[in-house]
A and B are shown apart, each in its own frame.
Chain A
Amino acid sequence: MLAWTIYISFLGVLVLMLLPKGNASAARKVAMLSAVAGLFVAVAGFVQFKVGEIVTVAKLPWIPSLGIEYHLAADGVSLTLVLLTGLAAVGGILFSWNIEHRAKEFFAFYLALIGGVYGVFLSFDLFLLFVFYEIAIIPKYFLIAIWGSTRKEYGAMKLALYSFVGSAMVLVGLIAAYVVSGAHTFNVMELAKYPFPHDFQMWAFPLVFVGFAILAGMWPFHTWAPTGHVAAPTAASMLLAGVVMKLGAYGCLRVAMTLFPQGLENWSFGVVGFHSWRDVIAVFSVIGIVYGAVVALVQKDFKFVIGYSSVSHMGFVLLGLVTLNTIGLSGAVLLMFSHGIIAGLLFAVVGRMVYERTHTRELAVLEGMNLVKAMPFAAATFVIAGMASMGLPGFSGFVAELQVLIGAWKAFPTLAVISGVGIVIGVAYTLRAMQKAFFGEAEKPLTPALSPSDGERETASQDEHHHAMDAISVPERIGAVMLIGVSLLVGLYPRILLDVIVPSFDSPLFDWLRKGGGP
């Protein structure tokens, strides 16, 4: 049944293409219907899921000569992320309800992206996974290049190039695995059982892991993320941070770590204190955590702050993955979910609520607008989302980061301490952005430095400017309440997800990781 998440999305694309041109209202309704149906299927699948199982959804031969199958299946990890995708999809449409410019194409690309993402999370055949992975990247490019802002061509191109470099690395790894195993299959469960030679794993693991981790925003391959987020339209940056970055982290776990677990073992030598790829990745993750946070601290563009905060949080996800203990791994998965929700909400506030009304994202300009008066709802939403983002207890991020920290403490105590610094700076940049954007001084004279395309609005006086802002619309309110509600629910009752995630790590797929992994 879960396969319907994919079909419904592509069905939505098809229907949208058949719609007459210029009917934005019909287009968004179709998109909404499709996304809600997808979410419904995801929730139903989640409810019916038997904990600890790997459910096979579909398994048909596709290219028999190469042993490629159309094989969809789900375990607790993929299910959690499917659920996230459903939520993010609905949220994204709610926050792009006002799209009028080529709405039909916009939503068609949007749903194609969603369909691809569902596909990646559900594929248990690696070739199929790779196909869906590519399907997800292409609409991404167009969404940014056509509907984006601020250096959109640059952002879109950078994103696409990085993604394709990553894909190329992944593809080489996959083909190598196929050839070396000689098993004539891309089935991840079969390949996971195959004992690849140790030396082979030693180079195949970093190749595939980094290939995926590029999309997860791993330092130093992260620079596509902030520019891409900034250039993207609201819904696209919500998806980018919400689910696309998770594709990368998911790939790391599902492909690299499952197929080539021995790649995490110690080398026979040490290079400046590094003894394994695991050390390297852990250090890169922690650098990403601190680095993303400090860079966020000095950004002048509101959206860049959130963009870099995503880099920082994804560092926690990757750190959780290489802890190689259940607590850290399940924390990483929970954090993927949590960050998907919260980052989506933050981007929604910045991109939709603030930018589309004020036409600026410059914190220095926003500071003079005292937006809390003009849009109290947006301010309240951002305060709550900011609190959630900085890992305040009660929200989903806290439990997840706590788990990652506990896991990391067992594996790399020093790095756990350093990542604590990242948490402190996380508070600082969130508060800074919050106060500048919403609680600026009202007395300050307003000097809106608007982008040239909005030049005609510049003539509006300060008062008119305030009045000119539309009230926060109903879809935005629904979206904000939905995402906050989910984050709170998971934060207060984490078992709702953890009881599904944790047993998944008992499956044969993670045999090696569970046995304690490396050192």
Chain B
Amino acid sequence: MTPWIVKNLWLIPALPILAAGLSALAPQRCRKFSASLAIGSMVVSFLLALCAFAHTLQHGGHGAAKEVFNFEWLRFAAGDAGILKLGWVLDPLTAVMLVMVTFVGTLIFIYSVGYMAHDKNFTRFFTFLSLFAGAMLGVVIANSLLLLFISWELVGLTSYLLIGFWYHKPSAAAAAKKAFITTRIGDVALLLGMVWLYSQTGTLLFYDDGGGCMEKSALAKMVVQATGIGMAVSTGIGLLIFIGAMGKSGQVPLHVWLPDAMEGPTPVSALIHAATMVAAGVFLVARVYPLMAVSDISDAGRLFFSNTSPALQVVTWIGAITAVFAATIAVAQNDIKRILAYSTVSQLGYMMMGLGVGGVAVGMFHLITHAFFKALLFMGAGSVIHGCHDEQDIRRMGWLKKYMPITFLTYAVGMLALAGFPLVFSGFWSKDAILHSAHGWSVSQIPFYLGVAGAFLTAFYMTRQVALVFFGSNRSRRGNEADHSHPTIPPPHVGGYEPHESPLVMTAPLIILAVCAVGLSAIGTPAWPWFQSFLGQHHGEGGFTGEVISLMVLSSVIVFAGLGVGWWLYGRKPIQKADEPDVLENLPLGMHAWFAKKYGVDELYEMTVIRFNAWFARACAFLDEWVWGGVVLLVSSLAVGFGFVSDAFDKFAINLGFDQSCDGVTRGGKLMSRLQDGRVQNYLRIIGVALVVLVLFLIWGGGK
């Protein structure tokens, strides 16, 4: 007997989708209707998610309990092998994500009411937002890679629609297109991985009473088979799926879309491009973790899972590189949202690395804590932008803590959590768990050092941002005078502005999230690793062993160093004018320019992939127009030419011959006819001549 909540888990994504459908049909002026519908559906989904969460708690949690509900979707072929099933699963992983997505989602929905209040496409915004929430929840509950993929694509679509929400801005339209195409590259890899998985195992269900593709028999089948290039089939499929996750989660080299995606409205950035959608890639890896981690099989058929399996090594390296790579770029950005965007990319790298070296619980813990404090930071940034009349350049802010105290305080909490300030902030514990696992990784210590470097950079750039935005002096007016001389700063708003605090509907969610950013640290400390054991991935004795404490001390030192250097450079002696050069521009080797240019990855793609593609397309178009078209033209002109030749042959050879013969006959006839033209004198003349000829003939020898 399937419990009620498992059977009806589909309601959680279905409600927001239903709300989206209803508000899509509502006319534009029904603003209240569509907002309350969206928020209402999210609240109900949240309550249901809590039920589901309670259910998993009750049934033990600890990763083992996977309750599934599967149903037949279609038949490809006759017999059991041709049936394709979909389904959903309720396990601790799902439950945790459900609660997080619905909770953060609800807060962001409420916040959006304030943020989007002046937008004339208010209802459309909530339609898309609800659709997104539904799709994301679909990803979370899916027990079939196919259902996950379907929701995944829907998530990508809504992300496209929301990034391009202000499509009249060319940058927004371009960013939307870029995001969609870049993630779609990953998605095709995921699709191929899925197709491969299906051909190998005959199912796309994750768990199906032993018959699913994440279960023992299927994994055993895949790990023993080798592909053409030597790696196991499971590794090949795992890597293809991981490319899909890289696209969605902005891992290097597919990260380029995420910073551009900040063109969307800020609640979108908070919900989609910080808390939920970009985490979907991390979640996907967590979901197919058995496939990624399976490394070997014993003769007795026992499967071995390890964090050094080839697929997980790739995950770890990509994650570690992304973490540092994006953090260095964040150091040199001036757009408040772009800093957070690169920070998100970097943190997603941490999560991937956590999954690689430490398992599901480590990566997921950081995912959850990050979701809260990054949503908080984005919404705080939104509040700042809102209060500063759409100003986004941090060089043109300053001293805002006086104008917007609530935003400042909550932002500071988020910033400290992100930076990993010791002991009381959740980010510290989740990041520490990752560093701890990386330290123990048997393959290489380099990811650990990269992680430590990233932690330093994170603390540094967040301090820089907070110092420039909330401390120092207000540069919004002062920058104006210098604008004409400094081309890199966009034109100012007419007459400057007076910053103001945002309304309660925007600050209340900030406060709640700030509380969570602190409170979440309670559930995953080494002293009481509830979260880890809930996800069933906690091995070894917990508690504060000597190693744990020394690492904690190390990472605290790193964080303090980052905070200190940041404050030393930006907080101690605040810049006075918006166009003052950044102190980091003195770094050797033009490093700052590289950071500011984002290492030129966009330009690189522009020069290689895009230019090649355009060239190739033009070549094909040319081919089509001139070569294939040309062949046709050639054939047709040959045909026509042959026609001409035939025609000429007709005219000059056949006809001419015919005509000439005719003429000949006519002429012959005329000649003949002269012989009998009825003139007697001619007859006589001929007779006379003939007579003479005859006589002469006879005289000269005819008579012998």
Contact with B along A397-408 (1 / 0, CB 8 A): 011001101100
Q: Are B82 and A409 interface neighbours, CB within 8 A?
A: no
For chain B, give the interface size range.
35 or more
Say yes or no for B188: interface residue by CB 8 A criterion.
yes
Say yes or no for A283: interface residue by CB 8 A criterion.
no
Q: Are B170 and A223 interface neighbours, CB within 8 A?
A: no
Q: Given the complex of chains A and B, what is the CA–CA distance between A387 and B146 in angstroms? A: 18
Q: Are B180 and A299 interface neighbours, CB within 8 A?
A: no
CB within 8 Å for A431 and B177 given contacts A326-B82, A394-B154, A423-B188: yes
Q: Which of A24-32, A336-344, A349-357, A499-507 lies at the interface?
A: A499-507
Q: Are B74 and A498 interface neighbours, CB within 8 A?
A: yes
CB within 8 Å for A502 and B82 given contacts A417-B192, A420-B191: yes
Say yes or no for B621: interface residue by CB 8 A criterion.
yes
Q: Which of B310-318, B385-393, B624-632 lies at the interface?
A: B624-632
Specify which chain B residues have a CB less than 8 angstroms from the CB of A441 in the assembled complex. 168, 170
Question: Which one of B167, B196, B613, B624 lies within 8 Å of A223 (CB-CB)?
Answer: B624
CB within 8 Å for A503 and B629 given contacts A402-B195, A416-B192, A420-B191: no
Say yes or no for A14: interface residue by CB 8 A criterion.
no
Q: Are B191 and A423 interface neighbours, CB within 8 A?
A: yes
Q: Are A403 and B76 interface neighbours, CB within 8 A?
A: yes
Say yes or no for A468: interface residue by CB 8 A criterion.
no
Number of residues on chain A facing chain B (CB within 8 A): 55
Interface residues of A in 291-347 (CB under 8 A from B): 291, 294-295, 297-299, 325-327, 330-331
Chain A CB within 10 A, most for which of B177, B616, B624, B632: B624
Say yes or no for B680: interface residue by CB 8 A criterion.
no
Q: Are A409 and B618 interface neighbours, CB within 8 A?
A: no
CB within 8 Å for A294 and B617 given contacts A326-B76, A502-B78: yes
| Chain A binding surface, main DSSP class | helix
Specify which chain B residues have a CB less than 8 angstroms from the CB of A494 in the assembled complex. 73-74
CB within 8 Å for A435 and B177 given contacts A223-B624, A393-B153, A424-B184: yes
Q: Given the complex of chains A and B, what is the CA–CA distance between A72 and B199 in angstroms? A: 38
Q: Are A291 and B82 interface neighbours, CB within 8 A?
A: no
Residue of B nearest to A372 (CB): B167
Say yes or no for B88: interface residue by CB 8 A criterion.
no
Residue of A nearest to B228 (CB): A413
Q: Given the complex of chains A and B, what is the CA–CA distance between A392 and B180 in angstroms? A: 12
Contact with B along A412-445 (1 / 0, CB 8 A): 0100110011011101100110010001011000
Question: Which one of B78, B146, B157, B185 lies within 8 Å of A326 (CB-CB)?
Answer: B78
Question: Which one of B153, B198, B616 lies within 8 Å of A406 (CB-CB)?
Answer: B198
Q: Are B184 and A297 interface neighbours, CB within 8 A?
A: no
Question: Which one of A330, A432, A506 lies within 8 Å of B76 (CB-CB)?
Answer: A330
Q: Given the complex of chains A and B, what is the CA–CA distance between A423 and B180 in angstroms? A: 13
Q: Are B75 and A495 interface neighbours, CB within 8 A?
A: yes
Say yes or no for A158: interface residue by CB 8 A criterion.
yes
Residue of B nearest to A293 (CB): B617
Say yes or no for A359: interface residue by CB 8 A criterion.
no
Say yes or no for B614: interface residue by CB 8 A criterion.
yes
Interface residues of A in 441-492 (CB under 8 A from B): 441-442
Say yes or no for A410: interface residue by CB 8 A criterion.
yes
Say yes or no for A195: interface residue by CB 8 A criterion.
no
Contact with A along B150-180 (1 / 0, CB 8 A): 1001100100000010011010010001001
CB within 8 Å for A502 and B153 given contacts A423-B188, A439-B167: no
Q: Are B621 and A295 interface neighbours, CB within 8 A?
A: yes
Specify which chain A residues have a CB less than 8 angstroms from the CB of B167 in the assembled complex. 372, 435, 439
Chain A CB within 10 A, most for which of B74, B82, B154, B196: B74
Q: List the 9 shortest-distance A-B pairs measured between CB atoms, nearest first.
A: A393-B150, A326-B77, A294-B617, A298-B617, A420-B188, A327-B76, A297-B617, A494-B74, A427-B184
Residues of A participating in the B interface, judged by any CB pair closer than 8 Å: 158, 161, 220, 222-223, 226, 291, 294-295, 297-299, 325-327, 330-331, 370, 372, 387, 392-394, 398-399, 402-403, 405-406, 409-410, 413, 416-417, 420-421, 423-425, 427-428, 431-432, 435, 439, 441-442, 494-495, 498-499, 502-503, 505-506
Q: List 6 A-B contacts (CB under 8 A).
A: A402-B195, A409-B195, A413-B196, A494-B73, A494-B74, A495-B73
List 15 extra interface pairs beyond A158-B632, A410-B199, CB under 8 A. Answer: A294-B620, A294-B621, A295-B617, A297-B617, A392-B157, A393-B150, A405-B191, A406-B198, A420-B189, A431-B181, A435-B173, A435-B177, A441-B170, A442-B168, A498-B76
